[in-house]
A and B are shown apart, each in its own frame.
Chain A
């Protein structure tokens, strides 16, 4: 008979599953922290854009013999900067510019990828390959994710004020430009560290869902961070183990578990959940009627 404990522990007897679990947890944690800021700032789609734009960087880094993470980081950051530059200097709307830049870079990356013989699998870059993470890859992810996490947590109050109210941040003398570019750099770093686990396309889910879920559960930012991290890490663990049992894509399983968590919170959250709001609406009309009487 298979108990719940066996269901969880069995997969972990394989060393590749242990590594996969550690990487997923790390990535989930750092993405969750960033997601709180992105959701508040309205930058969710910036995450999408940067993650698509890393593709040409990866291929070029391969050609030049550089570490792939450096190429990915440089490409991701240039996408953000180029978007800003084109938007400042033309009358095209920001979301349109962003769409043009990241799709152009992704397309260029595809062309390069077809032209250049690499030992990388396109599917692994696009959808992640957490089950094939090596010890070296694990160390790299841990280094980038850990560093990013540390910086964000140290600067969390400044970043928060910048996301909420840039004018106020400027008024009290915070270096707003530095914070702006700092947040972009942190986002690009996070994306680079998470590429292995979930791949380019699903990354944006990890960068949105935990923050969105936490926002429905609390009004206070100090609580939002730990909630987002807890939701993301437990979803990552559950998703990784689930993918082992159903033999499905790991990144997709993690994202779907996170989405399920969001759905549950959306329905049952104590204050902003759908059922509570409905009950309030229904509860109000009879009492209102009796008051009128």
Chain B
């Protein structure tokens, strides 16, 4: 459990947030740049002192202005993976990895260094110097270095920001693997919806130094009233699914409470849990069951809410067993006579759901 209730003024910017989250898995600190995310994690790490408030992890108080508690960074046991990796340039990769290990109490060294090195694919890099590493390699070493110091919590401040596309998804894969195998809570700072969709169990949404919402990722990311914050074009529903089969056409069936979602083929075994992000703009609406249609995913449900009615497009909140969102034009809505309670069919193109929209809720098989 991470409990935060802090205030900090820095020049004209005021950060004032209070939230509690379960620290199991990944908690995403999500918001646009300038929302105060980095400031907040710096205060969690002890690199920046709040003006007043309280920070607590589990039963340990890291900061409490009332009780005059302010643990220094080295006593917080909070790991930090920085945007620019911050490896020590004068030390080898191996020395970087082991830097913090001597300070971890003997009885609390849970991670086996060999296993961490293996998990992050660092065996071949151990003798190299940080300057000779690529951006992705640097971040993997930085993650390993933080882990081997045996932190109670790891902060990751936009660790993918400096990487290009393919490196990004590679590192996300590694972080997914850590999340699912190591049992170290992660606070992941990001302004990229794709990363949050794939990684987060909990989401804390910030804007202009204020808390907008906090809660399970599936609830928060699906709320279009929050779309000004999580990116209007990317807004949509997060749905927990499970692989139930593959067909001869290279498609994979994902079962969820509202039926079966058919997506482009995934190389995953039956039973694997997958989180699908279905963007509102990829969902179309019909009032009768359409026939002779290329779209494979047709779900029957009801309109339970209409949002954003004052622009050309609007968001429909649908109940199809789970919550789903559809963005349609106001004209279509008028033509179809859409109103709350109306029974509709939601159409989702299989090809609209690509690899970036899918996050593994369980570790992939390692080959």
**Real complex partners, A and B?**
no
A residues neighboring B (CB under 8 Å): none
Q: Contact residues of B with A, CB < 8 Å?
A: none
